[in-house]
Amino acid sequence: MSDLQCDLLVIGSGAGGLSAAVTAAHLGLKVIVAEKDPQFGGTTAWSGGWMWLPRNPLAVEAGIVEPIEEPLAYLRHELGDRFDEARARAFLEAAPRMVEFFRSKTALRFIDGNAIPDFHGRTPHASLGGRSLCAAPFDGRRLGKRIADLKPPLPETTLWGMGIASGAELRHFFNAFRKPASLWYVTKRVLAHWKDLLLHRRGMRLVNGNALVAGLAVSAFEAGVEIRINCPARRLLRGSDERGERVTGAVLATPEGVIEVRARCGVVLACGGFPHDEQRKRALLPHAPTGREHWSAASRSNTGDGLRLGETAGGCVATDGAQAAALAPVSLVPLVPRADGSFAHFPHLIERGKPGLIAVTRRGQRFTNEADSYHDFMQALLAALPAGEPVQAWLVCDHAFMRHYGLGAAKPAPMPLGPMLANGYVKRGTTLADLARVCGIDGDALRKTVQRYNAQALAGKDDDFAKGETPYNHMQGDAPFAAERGWPNPCMGPLERGPFYAVKVVAGSLGTFAGLKTNDHAQVLDAQGQPIAGLYAGGNDMNSMMAGHYPSGGITLGPAMTFGFLAAHHMTGGEPSP
């Protein structure tokens, strides 16, 4: 067994790991990142790349200035008994400094989320905008040959492998056949992508989470960080020196054989939580009694290794969160079988809030405000179903909706719908009764539900679930499209003319919340609440500071970036200033 020496060993190459790696390298440490997959980036590379970072410099420069007490009070209301003021303050104080550090000292750039509201507009101190940032589009050519090692975006969320940025860019794609300016934008974008495919065999204009990972990876390489792919960590090393007993490194399985990596300052566990660890899912997700009834959209390589490694060193996984995962409705896409024969897990993040869609259980009844967050949607579904019933619902729309917005992995016109009908992903019925029969939904109830919903949509008021009434709902809707049709509510349109379509959604997640208990420096804590020397947790290996609540978009990546930054400062004994 050969040996490698470094100051910091980071295990996992998502936002949690790379933030710590880049910061530590700028503070003078020799850093190695070990990644289990053949490509780096993890779920972060598939993500929207949005980060909840209140009081960030881009918001302040736009005149959105709020005291720390404002987001703190929002979190206090949202998290209730589980609110941990020390960690919340540590996060909120460091977040603006983290952004300033990355934008001034590294290759990573940000775009603002100044118009993006918090999820729960009725909670006191919720914001209308200015608390989030996204990674700015990034030129993949800056990675040089290492572009081949960057995990591409989740195929089902792309167009021929081209990532589409949320916000204005996505609106252009929806409006491509309605507005000349949008058609022009989309044509240019697609032609540039095809050119990239010819020259580089992949898109080079990186957006969303792919841009975040690329920006972090370029920053890491420029600062001398070594990112080793195909190197799963198998076990932690412990030892003692003049500082006492501590974690001193890890054993990695590399393509060249097993090696020991000794890390003078410590190890950061950032393996992305347990979204594909059946045993942990069985223990922590009540809706997944065998561990298999939960189809996470997170990276398949996130099999709970970090949590297990942390436990071997005395760490404890929190079990007291409101939810153990960032829940999301997911559909199973048979079109793109993976190498292991399983299906793609498509997370429904975008179309649920658009006008003209409803979600029903097999009883043919709505159960929630479809325009609420994916997490709230799933919580409502879990609450609506009798105990023991398989967790599933149907997203239902008419032909006009299907061709304008698409439904899940079925893309809008002009992309053909035929393959998704042929493989059974999309169900179709000439009438609602036909559709109900094909899906196994109570037909009579579905007809009544649609009748009632259509009347409400024309009146613009959802008397059952208040759809379209919060700023977040508005953002998820499509006000211009609804207004053109005389629909007063941006999230509500009638389901009028067949054929009608449906896609089944099941329980899934964007990642997991329950993780190793840490303090506000990201140090892993033992059963007595004492820090384990030399051991830190980042990203979803760290128990979420939101304690299983989901108050806003970006609440995994924002803290992942910030606590990675804090961990690096702690291990070097420095103050977190940019």
341's CB contacts (< 8 A; 6+ apart) are none
Distance CA 255, CA 21 (A): 22
Q: Which whole-number Å values give the CA distances from 490 to 482, 561, 565, in the listed order?
A: 5, 34, 39
Other C-beta atoms lying within 10 Å of the C-beta of residue 544: 28
Give me the least distance between CB of 230 and ligand FAD, in Å please.
9
Q: Taking CB under 6 A as the rule, which mask of x and - marks residues 314-353 in contact with ligand FAD?
A: ---------------------------------x------
Give me the least distance between CB of 288 and ligand FAD, in Å please.
17
Does 277 participate in binding ligand FAD (rule CB under 6 A)?
no
Give me the least distance between CB of 33 and ligand FAD, in Å please.
9
3-class state of residue 263 by DSSP: strand
Supply the DSSP symbol for 490: T
- Choose between 163 and 429: whose C-beta lies nearer to ligand FAD: 163
Query: Judged by CB under 6 A, which of 21, 90, 271, 532 binds ligand FAD?
Result: 271
Q: Which whole-number Å values give the CA distances from 433 to 327, 362, 442, 498, in the listed order?
A: 31, 13, 9, 11
Does 34 participate in binding ligand FAD (rule CB under 6 A)?
yes
Alpha helices for 106-207 (secondary structure H): 168-174, 180-200
Distance CA 435, CA 428 (A): 6
The stretch among 57-65, 169-177, 407-415, 551-559 that binds ligand FAD (CB under 6 A) is 551-559
Whether the CB-CB separation of 497 and 544 falls below 8 Å is answered with no
Does 49 participate in binding ligand FAD (rule CB under 6 A)?
yes
Q: CA nearest 11: which of 236, 300, 312?
A: 236
H/E segment holding residue 47: none
Using CB positions, name the residue nearest to ligand FAD. Answer: 14
Does 511 participate in binding ligand FAD (rule CB under 6 A)?
yes
Give me the least distance between CB of 277 and ligand FAD, in Å please.
10
Distance CA 48, CA 134 (A): 8
Does 473 participate in binding ligand FAD (rule CB under 6 A)?
no
Give me the least distance between CB of 325 and ligand FAD, in Å please.
10
Does 15 participate in binding ligand FAD (rule CB under 6 A)?
yes
Distance CA 360, CA 374 (A): 15
Give me the least distance between CB of 510 and ligand FAD, in Å please.
4
3-class state of residue 520 by DSSP: coil
> For 490, phi and psi rounded to 5 degrees?
-65, -15
Does 232 participate in binding ligand FAD (rule CB under 6 A)?
yes
Does 12 participate in binding ligand FAD (rule CB under 6 A)?
yes
The stretch among 35-43, 112-120, 476-484, 490-498 that binds ligand FAD (CB under 6 A) is 35-43
> For 467, phi and psi rounded to 5 degrees?
-65, 140
Q: Taking CB under 6 A as the rule, which mask of x and - marks residues 148-187 in contact with ligand FAD?
A: ------x---------------------------------
Give me the least distance between CB of 508 and ligand FAD, in Å please.
9
Q: Going by DSSP bridges, is the β-strand pair 325-333/31-34 parallel, antiparallel, or unpaired?
A: unpaired
> For binding to ligand FAD (CB under 6 A), which residues are involved?
11-17, 34-37, 42-44, 46-50, 154, 209, 232-233, 270-273, 297-299, 301-302, 305, 347, 510-511, 539-540, 553-557, 560
